[in-house]
Amino acid sequence: MKRVIRLAVVDPSDATRTQLKNLMLGVDTVWLEAECSRYEFFMDVAMQTQPDIALISLDADQEAAIKLIDELRKNVPACAVLVVSSSQEGSLILQVMRSGAQEFLSYPLQLEDFMSALDRVRHASRAGDDNEEVRDSQVITVAGVNGGVGSTSIAVNLACALAKDERNTIALLDLDLALGDADVWLDIIPDYTIQDVAENITRIDYSLLKRSLTKHDTGLFLLPRPVHIESEFKMGPEELQRIIALLKATFTHLVIDIGKSYNEMEIAAITASDTTLLVAQLDLPCLRNVVRLIQYFDQNENLGDKLKVILNRFGLNDTQISLGKALGIIGREVFWKIPNDFATMVESRNNGVPLIEQAPKAKLTKSYIDLAATFSKSSSEQDEEVPAKKKLFSFLGRG
């Protein structure tokens, strides 16, 4: 199940290898698994890391590079081979393709050509495996509009409900770096935190990251916030983007629980996400902040379109704001309503046991299971729904 492509590059030239690396680091669907400066060493690298794609520069030694292509096709058949060269000689291209390369790209490599080649390789890989369901990784950020609205409870229980589906592999990232408590909700004492990963991000790889996560009984993997509140720990958006990219390469779903400050780190998480669940309750302070956040994110269409409003603790007896009035205030539909069941939720939190294990038959738990199901559909299932929706709502305009 390929989501983010894991790629290894070999190029004896430091200058061109750096240029190739910089190009790939700007593509969030590509994880640079390994780099190598010697053709004769690359086979060992490929055997150890098992990348999805090998990118081979021919120019340093065409004969050695072509020999490497032939060895890769024999010894690592699942690894697709892309080659790049400043030469466009027809006999060279023919020789390279006969050796087993899927794509021949010209140097200097252009981003558009690189992305087109990746698409062709990805589609060829999907067509060659009829038994494997192909699903893209989903990043779901859970963001509270106010303190105490229950965003962490939603992030944790959504992740656990997703993990119960055997088709899914789930990671939960606690990005509330000061006061995050996802580990408490899951009664986990982690060996590593996001601080360990961030401080070693330049040399961490696919397998090492997974060993840095803590696995819960439900099957999800947690990457918690740092143990101590330390001013010395600094992590920027770039490091976070690399962590997210590697987690996407490993898991079908990544759930991110962010804080309430909406700083550059949390904005980076929202930017990298496919969906942002905006958690609120039916009270005036929450609804006011929903409006403010929607207006803020709507300034960037790519971010505003990702927002989905969730009403938590829906059905509280003391609320004086109706759902209809709330919809009028926020100006958009509510994506999901989590029913109020204070006693069940408090028991789950205090025991450090997620709802799906603590109260599997509760109405509250059923709501999380149904919510998780909306994020568990395969690409084919989602595609089948599109025509039906268009047909049903085609007469409605936006606005």
Number of C-beta neighbours around residue 263 at 10 A:
12
- 118-146 pLDDT, tens digit each: 888 877 765 555 444 545 789 999 999 99
CA distance 201 to 188: 23
Residue 150 Ramachandran class (φ > 0 left, ψ -120 to 50 alpha, else beta): left
CA distance 31 to 52: 10
Lowest-pLDDT range, 146-160, 163-177, 200-214, 266-280?
A: 200-214
Q: Which of 288, 254, 289 is nearest to 155 (CA)?
A: 254
Of the pLDDT bands very low, low, confident and very high (cuts 50, 70, 90), residue 200 is confident
CA distance 236 to 103: 35
Through-space distance between the first and last CA atoms of the chain, rounded to whole angstroms: 38
Q: Where are the beta strands (DSSP E) in 258-370?
A: 275-280, 307-314, 334-339
Listed by start position, the domains of the chain span 5-127, 138-375
CA distance 259 to 67: 52
- Give 85-109 as a DSSP string: ES---HHHHHHHHHHT-SEEEESSP
Which CATH code, of 3.30.460.80, 3.40.50.2300, 3.50.50.60, 3.40.50.300, is assigned to 5-127?
A: 3.40.50.2300
Q: What fold characterizes domain 138-375? A: Rossmann fold (3.40.50)
Given a cut of 80, is residue 312 above it in pLDDT? yes
The verdict on whether omega for the bond into residue 108 sits within 30 degrees of 0, i.e. cis, is: yes
Domains 5-127 and 138-375 share a fold: yes
Lowest-pLDDT range, 144-158, 262-276, 318-332, 341-355?
A: 318-332
